[in-house]
Amino acid sequence: MPKQTFFNLPAEKQDNLLNAAKKEFSRVPLHEAVISNIIKSAKIPRGSFYQYFEDLEDLFFYILEEYVKRNNERFTLQLKLNNGD
Protein backbone atom coordinates (compact mmCIF):
# COMPACT_ATOMS: atom_id res chain seq x y z
CA MET A 1 0.00 0.00 0.00
CA PRO A 2 1.38 3.43 -0.84
CA LYS A 3 2.56 5.69 1.91
CA GLN A 4 0.56 8.81 2.74
CA THR A 5 3.07 10.97 0.85
CA PHE A 6 1.92 9.32 -2.39
CA PHE A 7 -1.70 10.22 -1.69
CA ASN A 8 -0.64 13.80 -0.93
CA LEU A 9 0.72 14.19 -4.46
CA PRO A 10 -1.39 15.94 -7.09
CA ALA A 11 -3.36 13.48 -9.22
CA GLU A 12 -1.21 14.26 -12.26
CA LYS A 13 1.99 13.24 -10.45
CA GLN A 14 0.36 10.10 -9.10
CA ASP A 15 -0.78 9.16 -12.59
CA ASN A 16 2.66 9.89 -14.01
CA LEU A 17 4.32 7.49 -11.56
CA LEU A 18 1.66 4.80 -11.99
CA ASN A 19 1.88 5.03 -15.79
CA ALA A 20 5.66 4.69 -15.64
CA ALA A 21 5.25 1.62 -13.44
CA LYS A 22 2.61 0.08 -15.72
CA LYS A 23 4.96 0.60 -18.65
CA GLU A 24 7.74 -1.24 -16.83
CA PHE A 25 5.48 -4.04 -15.60
CA SER A 26 4.09 -4.57 -19.10
CA ARG A 27 7.63 -4.76 -20.48
CA VAL A 28 8.92 -7.45 -18.10
CA PRO A 29 7.66 -9.68 -15.27
CA LEU A 30 7.77 -8.30 -11.73
CA HIS A 31 10.96 -10.16 -10.83
CA GLU A 32 12.76 -8.53 -13.78
CA ALA A 33 11.34 -5.02 -13.34
CA VAL A 34 13.69 -2.35 -12.02
CA ILE A 35 12.98 0.83 -10.12
CA SER A 36 15.52 2.77 -12.15
CA ASN A 37 13.38 2.42 -15.30
CA ILE A 38 10.29 3.61 -13.45
CA ILE A 39 11.90 6.65 -11.87
CA LYS A 40 13.59 7.58 -15.13
CA SER A 41 10.28 7.42 -17.01
CA ALA A 42 8.41 9.23 -14.22
CA LYS A 43 11.24 11.79 -13.89
CA ILE A 44 11.44 11.53 -10.12
CA PRO A 45 14.44 10.97 -7.82
CA ARG A 46 15.00 7.49 -6.39
CA GLY A 47 14.50 8.85 -2.87
CA SER A 48 11.05 10.10 -3.81
CA PHE A 49 10.07 6.62 -4.95
CA TYR A 50 10.84 5.28 -1.48
CA GLN A 51 8.84 8.10 0.09
CA TYR A 52 5.81 6.84 -1.85
CA PHE A 53 6.27 3.04 -1.76
CA GLU A 54 8.18 0.53 0.35
CA ASP A 55 9.56 -1.28 -2.69
CA LEU A 56 8.77 -2.48 -6.19
CA GLU A 57 6.41 -5.19 -4.97
CA ASP A 58 4.44 -2.65 -2.95
CA LEU A 59 3.89 -0.59 -6.10
CA PHE A 60 3.03 -3.65 -8.22
CA PHE A 61 0.43 -4.96 -5.80
CA TYR A 62 -1.10 -1.50 -5.36
CA ILE A 63 -1.64 -1.29 -9.14
CA LEU A 64 -3.04 -4.82 -9.18
CA GLU A 65 -5.41 -4.01 -6.32
CA GLU A 66 -6.67 -0.92 -8.15
CA TYR A 67 -7.40 -3.02 -11.27
CA VAL A 68 -9.32 -5.54 -9.19
CA LYS A 69 -11.38 -2.79 -7.52
CA ARG A 70 -12.18 -1.17 -10.87
CA ASN A 71 -13.23 -4.46 -12.45
CA ASN A 72 -15.36 -5.35 -9.43
CA GLU A 73 -17.12 -1.97 -9.66
CA ARG A 74 -17.79 -2.48 -13.37
CA PHE A 75 -19.12 -5.99 -12.76
CA THR A 76 -21.39 -4.82 -9.95
CA LEU A 77 -22.71 -1.96 -12.09
CA GLN A 78 -23.54 -4.35 -14.94
CA LEU A 79 -25.38 -6.63 -12.53
CA LYS A 80 -27.43 -3.69 -11.27
CA LEU A 81 -28.16 -2.44 -14.78
CA ASN A 82 -29.29 -5.90 -15.85
CA ASN A 83 -31.30 -6.77 -12.72
CA GLY A 84 -28.79 -9.37 -11.59
CA ASP A 85 -28.46 -11.09 -14.97
The CA distance from 31 to 25, in Å, is: 10
Please report which confidence band the pLDDT of residue 24 belongs to, taking 50, 70 and 90 as the band edges.
very high
Q: pLDDT (tens digit, 9 = 90+) per residue, 12-22?
A: 999 999 999 99
Alpha carbon 76 to its chain's center: 22
H helices of 34-85, in order, are 35-42, 46-52, 56-81
| 20: Cβ contacts below 8 Å, ≥ 6 apart | 37, 38, 39, 41, 42
**DSSP per position, 71-83:** HHHHHHHHHHHTT
Asked if pLDDT for residue 10 goes beyond 90, the answer is yes
Digit-coded pLDDT (tens) for 29-75: 999 999 999 999 999 999 999 999 999 999 999 999 999 999 998 88
pLDDT at 84: 77
